[in-house]
Chain A
Amino acid sequence: MTQALLDLAVAAALVLAAAGLGRMLLKAMGLHDASVPAAPAFSLALGLMAAAFATLALGAAGLLYAPLFQALLIACLVLAGPGFLREYARLSPWAAVRRLLEITLLEKVLLVLTAAQTLAMLLVILIPPPGSNMLAWRLAVPRMHIAGHTLAGHRAWPLLGESLAIAALLVKSEVAAQLLSLAVICAAAAVTYTLARRFFIRRVAIVALAIFMLTPQLVSSVGFFAPECMMALLVPLTFLALACWLRCKPQHRLRWLILVSLLTAGVAATKPVGAVHAALVLPAVLWILVLGFRERPTAIARRLTAFAAVVSVLAGLWYVQMFSAGTVSGDHDAPAAVRRDASTRSRLCPSALVTYPWDVTMNGRKLGMLITDNPGPLPLAFIPLLLVVLRPVPRAASLMLLYTAVFAVVVFVTSATTRHLVPVFGLTSIATALAIVRMQKLGRMAATAAASALLVACVLQVGISAKAVAGDETERLKMVAGGNAEAHLQAQASVCDAFEFLNAGRPQGRVLLLYGSSLPCPRAVAGFAVIDAPLSADAYRSEDRLVSVLRSLNVDYIYVDEHAQALAQAGQARLDPRVAELQEWLLSCCRLVYRKEAPGGQIRIYRFIDRSRERTENERL
């Protein structure tokens, strides 16, 4: 419990330091708080980006040391924290309370449910990370960088979110890193509210805030320290900055353009899919310059050059490194031959694109693996109504939906994970809220039905979170309360034993994770080269082809985690039966060298025996 409180205090200090630093940057750009809506969110975003870039620079200089980062945190707190607090200490809490009393009962209920959801997220976060994704990638790679005190710890440079994880890990712990993620989501909710309030009435803004925070997918994303959380803040923030830029005083235009460029660079630097954001913001910038400001061609060229320069210098750094290291797909340890998902071809058919919104929501058999892996029923139920029945769609909502559509198509093409849609949930929440409020136009019955549907969905979604906390996580909560988090981590990491076995018997080797898509244990990296991306569809063309691919990859062992296998099969109903058949055939040809019962099913390791190589060796003998 003491540990959890300490984590909370450190996370609060990190947030305050970042927000204070961001406020100083805003002031340096000449954007004072009075002219900036959601100024704390802008400050936090800019401060976190500055912290990530500073971490990257210190990593490049080989200075990833805990005392240095702790000293930097204290310096930021002392220099920037008091100014930030003074700015908001002047605000009267009574005014906020009075405003809360003015809202309707439905809105009050929604805010109470939102608060309950935030508490559920906090409880999920205070528990040490359980999943292989967290242990293996989100936190393992930052740990590798920290272990070497430099960026040379891993082939892939840490992206913006991972740089923040490095900073939080150096200052305190992985729980502090996740708490930072929760603060980012809360800021994203505030930005969603402000963005909705800028274009629509207050009821739309409150409903949008509730829909965003009650999205089931956020519960699992926050617990993952997923970079999508950072994108969920930066994407609506860019929309807000664009709206402010369009309406600002002429002498402030360049400042707002720089802010838009910085936020766009931040999104592009958070995840490779963020490059789509830059590609979408560029036409918006051009549109505002040409039709909004009616600038002359030379001025337009100058402004566009400034935008492109800021984005390409800040984000381009990562892309150059990713392309040169061959890690742009995120398949960090996979040779180029195995990058493509075997199910990709069958997934990318046009009919699947049409049914994608339905599949994402009704994820039972196709996309999602966890109960929290969906955006809830509200966007699917109401956004089509906004487009068909409740027209005309306001221009702001049309732009948000257009952005969402393009982003969703890119996610559909590049990934089968619903979590990658989190960055647009703020925008879809606003469109959904607008549709729900507009149902009043159809009469009292439609308005009552919409309000009931909203309440049912929100209660269900709080129920999903409560189940995640009270059902799956109770044991983990007890361990945290008892201060035995390390023992819990050890218990969770039973998969590590398999690699301990390999490490003990044979210090070198190449292991293929047949079903897993991430490293099961950071320690595995020490002794083994792990191929953690699925084999390409081409590899499963025939038995001979499969063996020749494994031979070309120099595979020594094949690792099978039944839990990962079950998840893979649940998540990929479209997987070619031929692939499963060939995988079974492959394992029947290999020699079982390790087997252990784990909570989610058996963990087995097979020795890959290349019969043709054996035959050749025998012939030579």
Chain B
Amino acid sequence: MKKTWKTVVSLCWVATVYAFFLRQYAEKVLSAFGM
């Protein structure tokens, strides 16, 4: 159970960081192409 909890927390955190980073990345790439 403890391991499951740790897995869920870890995956949620990684997903959050990636979601924000990818948004920034997309914004910068699009703006670099003038979009």
Instruction: Tell me the A residues contacting B by CB distance below 8 Å.
Output: 361-364, 371, 376-377, 380-382, 384-385, 388-389, 439, 442-443, 445-446, 449-450, 453, 456-457, 460, 464, 467, 471-472
Known contacts A362-B21, A443-B7; A385/B29 CB under 8 A: no
* Chain A residue contacts of B3, Cβ below 8 A: 442-443
State the CA gap A362–B11 with chains docked (Å): 19
Closest residue of A by beta carbon distance from B3: A442
State the CA gap A364–B9 with chains docked (Å): 26
State the CA gap A361–B24 with chains docked (Å): 10
Docked complex: B1-33 residues within 8 A CB-CB of A: 3, 6-7, 9-11, 13-14, 17-18, 20-22, 24-25, 27-29, 32-33
A340 to chain B, nearest CB (A): 29
Q: Are A449 and B14 in contact (CB under 8 A)?
A: yes
State the CA gap A453–B12 with chains docked (Å): 12
* Chain A residue contacts of B27, Cβ below 8 A: 364
Q: Are B18 and A377 in contact (CB under 8 A)?
A: yes
Q: Are B17 and A460 in contact (CB under 8 A)?
A: no
B12 to chain A, nearest CB (A): 11
Q: Are A381 and B17 in contact (CB under 8 A)?
A: yes
A101 to chain B, nearest CB (A): 31
Q: Are A467 and B29 in contact (CB under 8 A)?
A: yes
Which 5 residue pairs across A and B have the least CB separation, nearest first? Answer: A377-B21, A381-B17, A364-B24, A371-B28, A442-B7
Instruction: Tell me the B residues contacting A by CB distance below 8 Å.
Output: 3, 6-7, 9-11, 13-14, 17-18, 20-22, 24-25, 27-29, 32-33
Main secondary structure of the interface of B (DSSP, over half): helix
Known contacts A442-B6, A471-B32; A362/B20 CB under 8 A: yes
State the CA gap A457–B18 with chains docked (Å): 9
* Chain B residue contacts of A467, Cβ below 8 A: 29, 32
Known contacts A362-B24, A467-B29; A389/B9 CB under 8 A: yes
State the CA gap A201–B21 with chains docked (Å): 29
Our pick among B11, B17, B28 for the contact of A361 (Cβ within 8 Å) is: B17
State the CA gap A446–B15 with chains docked (Å): 12
Closest residue of A by beta carbon distance from B16: A381
Q: Are B14 and A382 in contact (CB under 8 A)?
A: yes
Q: Are A384 and B13 in contact (CB under 8 A)?
A: yes
B22 to chain A, nearest CB (A): 8
* Chain A residue contacts of B22, Cβ below 8 A: 460
Our pick among B7, B14, B29, B33 for the contact of A381 (Cβ within 8 Å) is: B14
Q: Are B24 and A442 in contact (CB under 8 A)?
A: no
State the CA gap A362–B23 with chains docked (Å): 9
* Chain B residue contacts of A362, Cβ below 8 A: 20-21, 24
B9 to chain A, nearest CB (A): 6
A204 to chain B, nearest CB (A): 18
